[in-house]
């Protein structure tokens, strides 16, 4: 592209070139109206000759500009001027990840931190329906703290759609980081991004990419045909758990990889536990190379450096960690739970009792769609101190050894019959009974699987556990297994009703088991969108027995075999990604999203906004009708009588700012499951 220095593009005065890639050129520019320097990504003029370019560029730019995440470089303006299309972004002055990797591999604690940031950014974008298609180190910018900002969303897709013949060396994606399906011109989806993220992880820990050749096409063919060189061949000290994560992320078949970036990130968080100092920080420290004792020097922050705000709930999948970490973690959990259950002997292990299934039927309910008002919005209040939480306070269960980290995937505190259970990814279930506590796994009990995906407590006192091979029910004495053929490994959420029925949210929709029969409701019956937008995020049964289902852009309730659908973007629940659902003490549904909470009074939806909730993961309501929200990296938020309070590692005894689950037990105590234990 020609040098555009000195040219005026809309409100921007182009100053000097910064860099050029296979798709566009980046310039430093000045915006007089805002008195600031910006980065302008300018697309070549020949793209304007394509008939559909303007329409597709605007669609892409709007989608990218709507992304609001702390580790995605924000796009605050876009336009076309003098036959050039451009995107305006904050000007970053601290280089990119590719610069950092030129000097070798990184320390594992920095690998963990940066991969968590990139994985969270990708997962958030995927939930908005965007696939990057060009994830690579040169598209990862660094800020003044050494934190990652992913950029260039949508560039590869728009070029792929508009240009029929592209020289491979300029192809948006870079062969070193392209997936096998991209090499074979197959379907590209979010798992292609996960593959590219796996290549970056490989490079971070070994100092090199796995496939190298003189010609780009040869590199691409290696991705398609060649076995993956073992990372430990180039980094013998690499933990085997990290190598296993890389091998899974770089599987040739997309279906064999991690299916979400969330799963990959959480697996890595277990394989590379945080140091004690990291456990008390929001985001870690500056990156340091593993082959050098000298710290990386980060330039003085610039006034132009900017971050967006929003996020990606982290849905977990952990494939293993050291046995010592498990034992230590369980000891801590036992100590925390001891206060309300007592201890001396263990629970008995009893044989599994099976359940025979009847026929499966598909129900096609009728629809009603109701418009909704949004009468009130409240604003966040300043962060509250821990003393304001009440007389009980917080009692944190901190682990002292950085190698002893255990992550709770789904935690349930059930006091009804004097026992409680906690579920883990890869470690089965730990239950604490009236006379002691015990761990149940595939090896020592009749529990059907160790990888716990979801848990819930039932009105009849049972706890339901969804694992890789089915669903198990535990009544404090014995396990009961439920198995079926609709793919229980995809279970995302569980619920049960007063009749003893089980509701299961899975990839195809939801299913209900009662009286020996499964009834399936496909997602097309209750979801407003298609594809990723139809996936069930959560399911819950109200105290009145009504089933509520949350998908990314809609909320639906089933009553008397009729669905009522509240759809995103139709005048209510606007422009939000919905995540979790629960009920307040008045039995009104509360829907959690990235910008706050929606409450439904039976007639209208009310929003209580808080933009800091972009990383929200869980929600619960305590005895005082206070709403508790757990986040990925900012601790816990509490909404109480119109104001927000914040609890994190800096202003409370919370053991970690990653709060994956919030549960209110039958004694009305609030339990917070974090990556470092439990807080009650």
- Tokens linked to 169: 């060396």
272/262 Cα distance (integer angstroms): 15
What pLDDT score does 2 carry? 76
What pLDDT score does 471 carry? 82
Section 470-492 average pLDDT = 69
What pLDDT score does 234 carry? 93
pLDDT band, residue 668 (cuts 50/70/90)? confident
Domain boundaries, the chain: 8-280, 323-679
Residue 114 has pLDDT above 80, yes or no: yes
**DSSP 8-state code for residue 72:** B
**Residue 360 vs residues 272, 342, 471, 485, 513: alpha-carbon distances, Å:** 43, 43, 17, 10, 9
355, 516 contact by CB (below 8 A): yes
As a whole-number percent, the residues of the chain with pLDDT over 70 amount to 65
pLDDT band, residue 650 (cuts 50/70/90)? confident
Cα angle for residues 501, 505, 507 (degrees, 5° grid)? 145
What pLDDT score does 476 carry? 72
124, 95 contact by CB (below 8 A): no
Q: What is the pLDDT of residues 175-233, one digit of tens each?
A: 899 999 887 766 788 999 999 999 999 999 999 999 998 888 788 888 988 899 999 99
Section 271-292 average pLDDT = 53
Residue 641: which residues within 8 A CB-CB, separation 6 or more?
none
pLDDT band, residue 278 (cuts 50/70/90)? low
Query: What DSSP assignment string belongs to 1-64?
Result: ----TT-EETTEEEEEEEEE-SS-EEEEEEETTTTEEEEEEEE-GGGGGSTTHHHHHHHHHHHH
- If you average pLDDT over each of 265-279, 293-307, 549-563, which comes out highest? 549-563
- The answer to whether the Cα torsion of 125, 129, 131, 132 is positive or negative is negative
**Class assignment of domain 323-679?**
mainly beta
183/223 Cα distance (integer angstroms): 8
Q: Looking at 81-85, 156-160, 608-612, which range is the least confident one? A: 156-160
**Residue 319 vs residues 260, 275, 326, 430, 529: alpha-carbon distances, Å:** 14, 20, 13, 17, 31
209/212 Cα distance (integer angstroms): 7
Residue 6: which residues within 8 A CB-CB, separation 6 or more?
13, 14
Calculate the average pLDDT of the chain: 72
Residue 419 has pLDDT above 70, yes or no: no
Residue 12: which residues within 8 A CB-CB, separation 6 or more?
29, 30, 31, 38, 40, 86, 88
32, with CB counted inside 10 A (0-12, 13-18, 19+), is exposed
- Tokens linked to 523: 């997602």
Backbone angles phi, psi at 267, to 5 degrees: -60, -40
Equal CATH topology for 8-280 and 323-679: no
Give Cα 590 distance to the centre of its chain: 20
pLDDT band, residue 294 (cuts 50/70/90)? very low
315 or 53: which leads in pLDDT: 53
77-81 β-sheet, strand order: 8-9, 12-20, 25-31, 36-43, 84-90, 77-81
Q: 190 in the Ramachandran plot: left (φ > 0), alpha (ψ -120 to 50) or beta? A: alpha
pLDDT band, residue 11 (cuts 50/70/90)? very high
CATH 3.40.50.10420 fits domain 8-280: no
Q: What is the pLDDT of residues 217-267, one digit of tens each?
A: 788 888 988 899 999 999 999 999 999 999 999 999 998 999 999 999 999
Backbone angles phi, psi at 263, to 5 degrees: -60, -45
Section 433-455 average pLDDT = 72
What pLDDT score does 3 carry? 85
15, 30 contact by CB (below 8 A): yes
Other CB atoms within a 10 A radius of the CB of residue 255 amount to 7
194 or 604: which leads in pLDDT: 194
Backbone angles phi, psi at 608, to 5 degrees: -115, 105
262/257 Cα distance (integer angstroms): 12
What pLDDT score does 319 carry? 33
Q: Say what the pTM is.
A: 0.50
């Amino acid at each position: 592209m020609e040098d555009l220095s000195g040219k005026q593009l809309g409100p921007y005065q182009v100053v000097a070139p910064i860099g050029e890639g296979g798709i566009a050129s980046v310039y430093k520019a000045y915006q007089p109206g805002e008195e600031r320097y910006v980065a302008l990504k300018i697309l070549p003029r020949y793209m304007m000759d394509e008939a559909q370019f303007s329409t597709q560029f605007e669609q892409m730019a709007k989608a990218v500009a709507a992304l609001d995440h702390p580790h995605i470089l924000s796009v605050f303006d876009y336009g076309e001027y003098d036959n050039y299309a451009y995107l305006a972004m904050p000007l970053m002055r601290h280089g990119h990840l590719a610069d950092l990797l030129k000097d070798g591999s990184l320390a594992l604690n920095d690998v963990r931190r940066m991969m968590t940031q990139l994985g969270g950014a990708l997962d958030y974008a995927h939930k908005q329906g965007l696939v990057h298609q060009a994830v690579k180190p040169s598209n990862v910018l660094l800020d003044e703290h050494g934190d990652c900002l992913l950029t260039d969303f949508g560039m590869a897709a728009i070029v792929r759609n508009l240009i029929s013949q592209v020289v491979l060396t300029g192809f948006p994606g870079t062969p070193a980081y392209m997936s096998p399906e991209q090499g074979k011109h197959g379907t590209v989806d979010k798992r292609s991004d996960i593959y590219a993220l796996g290549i970056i992880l490989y490079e971070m820990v070994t100092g090199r990419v796995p496939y190298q050749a003189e010609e780009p096409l040869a590199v691409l063919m290696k991705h398609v045909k060649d076995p993956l060189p073992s990372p430990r061949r180039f980094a013998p000290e690499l933990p085997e758990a990290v190598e296993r994560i890389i091998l899974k992320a770089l599987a040739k078949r997309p279906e064999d990889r991690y299916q979400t970036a969330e799963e990959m990130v959480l697996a890595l968080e277990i394989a590379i536990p945080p140091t004690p100092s990291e456990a008390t920080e929001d985001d870690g420290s500056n990156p340091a190379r593993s082959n050098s004792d000298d710290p990386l020097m980060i330039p003085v922050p610039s006034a132009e450096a900017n971050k967006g705000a929003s996020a990606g709930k982290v849905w977990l999948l952990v494939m293993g960690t050291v046995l010592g970490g498990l034992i230590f973690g369980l000891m801590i959990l036992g100590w925390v739970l001891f206060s309300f259950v007592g201890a001396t002997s263990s629970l008995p292990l009893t044989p599994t009792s099976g359940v025979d299934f009847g026929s499966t039927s598909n129900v096609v309910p009728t629809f009603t769609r109701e418009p909704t008002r949004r009468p009130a919005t409240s604003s966040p209040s300043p962060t509250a101190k821990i003393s304001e939480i009440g007389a009980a306070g917080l009692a944190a269960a901190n682990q002292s050894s950085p190698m002893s980290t255990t992550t709770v995937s789904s935690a349930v505190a059930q006091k009804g019959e004097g026992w409680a259970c906690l579920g883990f990814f890869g470690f089965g279930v730990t239950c604490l009974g009236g006379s002691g506590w015990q761990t149940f796994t595939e090896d020592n009990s009749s529990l059907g699987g160790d990888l716990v995906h979801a848990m819930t407590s039932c009105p009849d006192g049972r706890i339901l556990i969804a694992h890789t091979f089915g669903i198990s029910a535990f009544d404090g004495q014995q396990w009961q297994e439920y198995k079926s053929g609709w793919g229980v490994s995809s279970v995302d959420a569980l619920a049960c009703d007063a009749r003893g029925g089980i509701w299961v949210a899975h990839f195809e929709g939801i299913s209900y088991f009662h009286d020996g029969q499964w009834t399936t409701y496909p997602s097309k019956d209750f979801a407003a969108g298609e594809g990723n937008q139809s996936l069930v995020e959560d399911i819950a049964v109200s105290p009145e027995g009504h089933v509520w289902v949350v998908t990314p852009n809609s909320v639906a309730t089933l009553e008397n075999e009729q669905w009522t659908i509240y759809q995103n973007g139709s005048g209510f629940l606007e422009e939000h990604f919905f995540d979790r659902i629960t009920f307040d003490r008045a039995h009104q549904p509360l829907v959690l999203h990235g910008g706050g909470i929606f409450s439904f009074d039976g007639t209208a939806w009310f929003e209580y906004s808080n933009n800091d909730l972009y990383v929200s993961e869980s929600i619960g309501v305590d005895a005082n009708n206070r709403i508790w929200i757990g986040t990925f990296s900012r601790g816990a938020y509490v909404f109480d009588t119109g104001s927000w309070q914040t609890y994190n590692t800096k202003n409370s005894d919370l053991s970690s700012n990653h709060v994956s689950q919030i549960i209110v037990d039958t004694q009305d105590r609030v339990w917070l499951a974090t990556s470092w234990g439990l807080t009650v």
